[in-house]
Structure formats: C-alpha cells, structure tokens
Amino acid sequence: MRITLSLIALFITLFLPLSIPQAAIAADKETGQKLSLQQAIERALSSNLNLQIQRTRLNQATGLAIKAEGAFDPQLTAEAATTSREETALSAIAATEEKTTDWKVGIGKKFTTGSAVQLGWNNSRYNSNAGQAPLFNPSWQSALNLSISQPLLQGFGQQVQTAELTAARRQQSAAALTLDNQMAELTAAVTRAYWNLVYTRNVKEVRQLSLTLATRLLQETETKIEAGALASIDIYQPQAEVSRRKEEIIAAERAIGLAEDDLKLLLNADDWQQTYLPTRLTTAITIPSRRALKIPIQAGAQDLSFPKHWEIRRPKETTCRQRQG
C-alpha cells in the first residue's frame, strides 16, 4: 500500500502541474501598484531623506564657493550728492546762496595675486550768487584717479589670497562626491530590495503550487480510502503535508511584507499600506545623474557628476548542456 501511495504521489508531482491552469495558481493574486525597477530607482533618488539632506549640504557648499569667488569680481560704484547753503548777506559782495553737486563713478577689481586696481572719475559743480562772481559761474572740477596696490608682506602670494576659495571648492567637491556615493549606494540598495521582493513573491507562488499539489494528493487519498484501496491511517501523511504547505505560505507572506517594508523605507513611501507588484524587466535600466535630478554641480571646479547614463543590462542567457557518457 505504501509503495502504491508513493507511486501515486510521484505521478501527481510529475504530471499534475501540466494540467493545472495558470489561473488556479494566480487565483489569489493581490491587487496593488505596479512598480518597475526603473521607477523604484528614480523614486528613491528623488525622495530619499538621506539624499535630500546631502543635497542641502551640497547647495550650502555651492553657496560658500560662489561667495568666495565674489571677492575677485569687478566692483562698479557710483555716487551722487548735492549740498545747498543759504545765509543772510553781510556785505554786498557776499553770497547768500551756494550750491555744490558732486558725481563719482569708480570701478575696481581684486586679482588672485593680491593686486587691487581702482579707477575713479570725480566731478564737482559749484554755483553761487555772490556779488563779485568768479570768472566762471557755475564752475566745474573733474579728476581721474588710478590706484594700484600690491601687498608685499602680509597677504602676499596667490596661495594666500585664494585660500578661502580653495577651501570652499574642496568642501563643495567633497559634498558632491559624498552625494554621488550615496546615490550609488542607494541605487544598489533599491536594486537588492526590489529583487528580494521579486524573489519572495516567486517563493510564495511556488509554495501555493505545492499547496495545490498537496491538496490534490489529499483528495486522491481520501477517494482511495473511501474505495477501500488504502487504509484509513494513510490519510495522516497527506493531511500533515497540507498543513505544512499552509504554514510555508504564511511564512512566505510574512517575508513579502518584510521585503516591501525594506523597499518602502528606501523609497520614503507615503502610504505604507500600499502593495507593490514588481513588473518584468524588459529594457535596460538607466540611472539618472545629479544633472538629470537638477542637483547643482560645483562652480569653478571639475564636474564630479555621474556619467550621463548608467546602464544595468540583463545578462545574456546561457545554456548548460550535460555531457552524456
């Protein structure tokens, strides 16, 4: 009897899956949001909290670098002023009203060597109602000034003058590299979490199929016991197998929940009750760069962003043939 039961189980295991419709296997498929690996990576890179913090640090470092560069920008100045004075005349030739107007325009620039150049143009207009007026009334005065300064002791040299700018650029480069590193690590973590979710769902489908086979075997055993072909004690083994398969499905569902939580944590998901349904990978995965994500790149230094496209392609299928001897 036991030999007959073993043969029946072997027959069901080998040939029954061919006769089970796919709809029966996926009868209890969950409904949820379809999510591809490309979408998961893009969502994580745009909403992950750690990346947002690092982007803020990069923006801060970029601002400090721009501020340090501003010390060597040209400066254009303009100034205008007018003064008027009225007083009681003490004599016939004394002025009772005087008016002076000044205009000043200047441009200056500081160089990385420490040299500073300043060019200024000053204009003044004077007008009065004095009884004995000057030869020209109103009178004009203009002056063009050029000054060049170069420190010889304190602050001498390009290295000293650009120390603050160099430090700001290095800090910006470090922040950019840190962000790139976090983006790479996050991409790898999302990829692992995504495929772990795919794996746990596949495990559940396999265990559901195993439960279907065990249930079918239990039904076959009950039929044979009713027909008298098997002893009543032979029912316990198929029943235990069905119970074990159900327990495995519960464990698989728990594993799916843990895998989804890991992925949602990386994606910074808003709805933790949402179920993700992974989709089949049909195209190459493109990893967005900092430039595509509108993350600033350091000014005045080399571009430390990722290449424009990272591609993760599916490995080519290989066929393993067993040598027959």
Model-wide pTM > 0.75: no
The residue ranking higher by pLDDT, 64 or 154, is: 64
The stretch 223-229 carries a mean pLDDT of: 89
Same domain, 150 and 279: no
Q: Give CA–CA dist 119/144, Å, rounded.
A: 8
Give the pLDDT of residue 313: 40
177 falls within a domain: yes
- Reported as a pLDDT band with limits 50, 70 and 90, residue 301 is very low
CB 257 within 8 A of CB 197: no
Domain boundary among 158, 184, 218: 158
Same domain, 280 and 132: no
Give kind and range of the element (H or E) at residue 220: helix 163-227
CB 172 within 8 A of CB 295: no
Same domain, 21 and 170: yes
Same domain, 137 and 207: no
Same domain, 249 and 204: yes
CB 179 within 8 A of CB 51: yes
How distant is the alpha carbon of residue 15 from its chain centre? 51
Q: With 90 as the cut, is the pLDDT of residue 204 above it?
A: yes
320 falls within a domain: no
Q: Residue 294 has which token pair?
A: 């509108």
- Pairing mode, if any, of strands 75-86 and 97-110? antiparallel
- Per DSSP, the residues of 90-132 read SSSSS-SEEEEEEEEEEEEEE-TTS-EEEEEEEEEEEEE--SS
How many C-beta atoms surround the C-beta of residue 101 within 10 A? 16
Q: With 60 as the cut, is the pLDDT of residue 49 above it?
A: yes
Q: Give CA–CA dist 290/51, Å, rounded.
A: 11
Give the pLDDT of residue 5: 40
The CATH number of residue 228's host domain is 1.20.1600.10
325 falls within a domain: no
- Per DSSP, the residues of 133-160 read --SSSSEEEEEEEEEEE--SSTT-SHHH
191 falls within a domain: yes
The stretch 311-324 carries a mean pLDDT of: 38
Q: Which has the minimum average pLDDT: 168-177, 242-251, 253-262, 289-298?
A: 289-298
Same domain, 192 and 308: yes
What letter would DSSP give residue 268? T
Number of domains in the chain: 2
Give the pLDDT of residue 1: 44
The stretch 196-213 carries a mean pLDDT of: 94
Domain boundary among 142, 158, 174: 158
Give the pLDDT of residue 174: 93
Residue whose entry in the numeric block shows the structure tokens 């296997």: 25
- Reported as a pLDDT band with limits 50, 70 and 90, residue 138 is confident
Domain extent at residue 120: 72-158
pLDDT tens digit string along 248-272?
Answer: 999 999 999 999 999 999 998 888 8
